[in-house]
A and B are shown apart, each in its own frame.
Chain A
Amino acid sequence: MTMVQEMNDRSTPKRPEDKLTIWETLRRRPEMVTLTILVVICVAVSIINPNFLQPGSLIDMGRASVVTGLFALGVFAILAAGGIDVSFTAIAALTMYSLTKFVITVAPDLPMAAIIAIAVVAGALLGAVNGLLVHGLRVPSLIVTIGTQYLFRGILLAFVGTVWLMELPPQMTAFGKAALYQFQGANGVTVDLPAYFLIFPVVVGLAWFLFDRTLMGRAIFATGGNPEVAARLGYGQRVVHVFVFAFAGALAGLAGIIHVSATRMANPFDLVGTEIEVIAAVVLGGARITGGTGSVLGTVAGVLLITVVSNTLVLVGIPSTWQRLVVGAFILLAAAFFVRRKQKPKQRKAE
C-alpha cells in the first residue's frame, strides 16, 4: 500500500511540493490529525473558560480516561486484526462484580496484587471464549460478541447477583484512594492524582511494544490487512483471533477492577452501554474499522479527544444534551475523512 502511494507521488509532480508533503504526512499518520484537533480544542476551551486548566478538572479528565483508555487499547487490538468487539464491557462487569463478591465472602485477606492478577486472567479467559467463537463460527465478530455480551451479562445478573456492593474490602478501597500527588485547588480543596492512574501509561507502553516490536504485532496487522494472505504467510489465524480477544478481555478485567476501586462500590449494572463511546475513541484515533491500520499513540489521542469533548461541552456553554449529537457527528466526520485518505491512491491510478 505505502509503496504504491510513494510511486504515485513521484509520478505526479504537478502539485506544489510543500502542500503535498503536508497531505502525505496526514495521510500516513492519521493520529497526527487527531492530536492536532485535540490541541486545538484544548487551546480553544482554555481561552473560552480558563477553569479548564485547573488541576481539578484536568485530574477529573485523567481519571475518566483510565478505564476508557484500557478498554480502547483492547478494542484497538481487535480492530487492527479486522474484527470488532462489543462484549468487553460485559466481561469487565462480570469480572469485577464476581471477583469483588468472591473477595468479600471467601477471601477477605487476598492481597491487591493477587486480585488484579485474577481479574486479568479471568478477563483473558472470557475474551478467549470470544476469540474461539469468532474463529470457529466464521461469522462477523460483531454478531458473535453481541451474543456473548448478552451471555456474560445474563450470567452476571441471573446467577451472580444484582445487589450493589457498597462495602468494599479494605485493600481495594486503599488501592482506589492511594494518591500519587496532591494538588491544592484554587478554592482550597485538595485534589489527588490517584496512583492507579499510573497503570494507564504502563499498559500503553506494553501495548506499543506488543504492536511495534513483536511478531505477534506483525501478525495482528497482517491478519487485519488481508486474512488470506496472512494465513499463507504462515500466521496462524486461530492464534491471532484468540490472542486479540484474550488481550482485550484481560484489559477489560483490569479496567473493571480499577473502576470498582475508583468508584468505591461494585454496581453490576455499570459499564455495559459505554462500548460505543470506546469504539468511537479508537476510530477517532485513526484505526480503520476494516482492520490492518492504526497505532497505539492514535488510540490514546482518540481516548483523550473523546474525554475532553464530553467533559468540556458544559465548560464552554454547550448544554450537556448536545453531547451525543456532537460525538456522533465526530464519528461520521472521522469516518468520512479517513476514507478519503484511503481512496486517494485509487483515484490517482484511475487518472
Chain B
Amino acid sequence: MSKLDGNLFVLSVLIVLLLAVGGAASGGNYLSIYNLQSMANQVPEIGLLAIGVMLAMCSGNGGIDLSGIALANLSGVASGLVALSIFPVDEAPVLFTITFAGGCLLIGMLGGALNGFLISRFEITPILCTLGTQMAFTGAAVVFSEGRSVMIGSPPALYDLGNGLIFGVPASFLIFLGAALILGGVLRFTPYGMKLMLTGANPKAALFSGFNRDRILITTYALSGLMAGLAGVIIAARNINVKWDYGTSYLLIAILVAVMAGVRPDGGYGRVVNVVLSAITLQLLSSLLNFVGFSNFVRDFAWGALLLCFLAVNRFELVDQFITRFSLGRAARAPKN
C-alpha cells in the first residue's frame, strides 16, 4: 500500500493511548486479564452491527441500514421460539444450539435480503426502507413473543459461545474476528467486493459498466442482515432471555463506529479492519469512563461529541493534512542535513 491509511493510524494510536491511560489511571486494574476479557466480550454485538452499517453505506446512493438491531432481536426471538418448540433445551442442548444459531442466521439473511429487494426493485430510499423494516421487524418480534421476553436459558453449548474462553480469549470475540476476516477477504478479493465499492463510488459508471445493480444491493443488504443474525446469536448466548427491545441505543452506536472507522457515508469506501479497531476503541473508551466513575449519561454525551468530532476530522481531512505536512516538513529538512 503506497499511502498510509489515516484512520487505521489514528485508531491504532488511540487504542494504545487508551490502554496506557486506563492502566495508569486505575493502577493496572484496567489492564488485568479479567477486565480485558470482559471488554472483549462486549465488542462483538456492536461490532457486527457496525460492519452491517458499513456494508450498506459502501453501496452508496444514501445507503444505510437502520434495521440492524431490530433484525438481530427478531432473529433471536423467532428462532428461539421455533427451536424451543422443536427441542427441549435440557435434553438436546447441542442440537438446540445448532438449530437456534442456524435459524438466527437464516432469518437475519432473509430480513436483509428483503431490505435489499425493497431498495433495489422498488427504489425506496434506504433510510426510509430500513426505518420501515426496523419498525416492521420490531413489530413482528413483539407479535411473535406477545411483548414478553423469550427465555432461552443457558444450554451448555450456547453458553460457551457467548461466555466461553478459547486460549483465554472470549469465544464471541473470536467469532467476531472470524466474521470480520472472512468479510474483509470477500470485499478485497472477490469481484463482488470490487463491484460493491465501484457502485458506491459512482453508480452511473457502474450502471454503464453493466454491473447487476439489483444483485449487488440484495447481496449487500443480505450480508448486513447476516451480521445482524450473528449478533442475535451472540446476544442470546450472552443473556438468558431475548426480547424485542434489547439494545435500543445500539443503532446509533453502530453508526458511530462506522463513521469513526472512516467509512464514507456517500459510499465507495470502507475497510472492515478499521471497523473492528473502531469498535474496540469505543469499548475501551466506554470502559475507561466507567472505571473513572462517570455515569452512562456522560457516556452518551461523549458519544455525540465524538461522532461530530470524527465527522469534522473526515470532512476537513485533518489527518491527511497532518501527515502530508509532517512528511513535507521532513522532506524539506532533509536536504539541509
Contacts and interface: CB of A to CB of B under 8 A. Distances in A.
Nearest to A152: B304
Contact of B302 (A154, A273, A323, A331): A154
Interface in B26-71: 62, 64
A154 B124 contact: no
A283 interface: yes
Q: Please classify the interface of chain B as helix (H, G, I), strand (E, B), loop, or mixed, using the class held by over half of its residues.
A: helix
Contact of B298 (A138, A154, A339): A154
Nearest to B306: A147
A332 interface: yes
A150 B304 CA distance: 5
B138 A150 contact: no
Given A280-B135, A335-B124, A140 B265 contact: yes
B146 interface: yes
A280 B135 CA distance: 10
A332 B307 contact: no
B283 interface: no
A154 B312 CA distance: 20
Given A137-B315, A280-B131, A149 B252 contact: yes
Given A137-B311, A139-B311, A324 B302 contact: no
B301 A332 contact: no
Contact of A158 (B135, B297, B308): B297
Interface string A129-155: 000010011111011101111111111
Contact of B125 (A155, A280, A323, A335): A335
A144 B300 contact: no
A143 B118 contact: no
Interface in A261-309: 273, 276, 279-280, 283, 289-290
A326 interface: yes
A84 interface: yes
B315 A325 contact: no
Contacts of A147: 256, 303-305, 307-308, 311
B133 interface: yes
Interface in B128-169: 128-129, 131-140, 142-143, 146-147
A84 B127 CA distance: 10
Contacts of B266: 140
Interface residues on A, range: 35 or more
Nearest to A332: B132
A321 interface: yes
Nearest to A276: B131
Interface in B283-324: 294-295, 297-305, 307-308, 311-312, 314-315
B248 interface: yes
A273 B248 contact: yes
Q: Which of A142, A143, A148 has the most CB of B within 10 A?
A: A143
B139 A325 contact: yes
A139 B315 contact: yes
Nearest to A325: B139
Interface string B245-284: 0001000100110010000011000000000000000000
A258 B134 CA distance: 29
B189 interface: no
Given A150-B252, A154-B300, A328-B134, A335 B142 contact: no
Contacts of A26: none
A214 interface: no
A325 B123 CA distance: 21
Q: Which of B64, B131, B266, B298 has the most CB of A within 10 A?
A: B131
Contacts of A157: 295, 297, 300
Contacts of A144: 308, 311
Given A157-B297, A324-B139, A335 B129 contact: yes
Nearest to A326: B139
B280 to A, nearest CB: 20
B122 interface: yes
Nearest to B142: A321
B139 A328 contact: yes
B308 A339 contact: no
A333 B104 CA distance: 26
A325 B256 CA distance: 27
A283 B128 CA distance: 9
A343 B121 CA distance: 12
A31 to B, nearest CB: 18
Given A143-B265, A158-B301, A332-B124, A325 B129 contact: no
A162 interface: yes
Contact of A289 (B128, B142, B248, B301): B128
Contact of B122 (A138, A289, A339): A339
A136 to B, nearest CB: 8
Nearest to A84: B127
A199 interface: no
A324 B123 CA distance: 23
A140 B127 CA distance: 11
A327 interface: yes
A328 B128 contact: no
A336 B138 CA distance: 20
Contacts of B256: 146-147
Given A321-B147, A324-B136, A331 B303 contact: no
Nearest to A277: B135
Q: Which of A136, A148, A154, A327 has the most CB of B within 10 A?
A: A154
9 contacts: A143-B255, A148-B308, A150-B303, A151-B301, A151-B305, A283-B128, A332-B129, A332-B136, A339-B122
Interface of A: 84, 133, 136-140, 142-144, 146-155, 157-159, 162, 273, 276, 279-280, 283, 289-290, 321-329, 331-332, 335-336, 339, 342-343
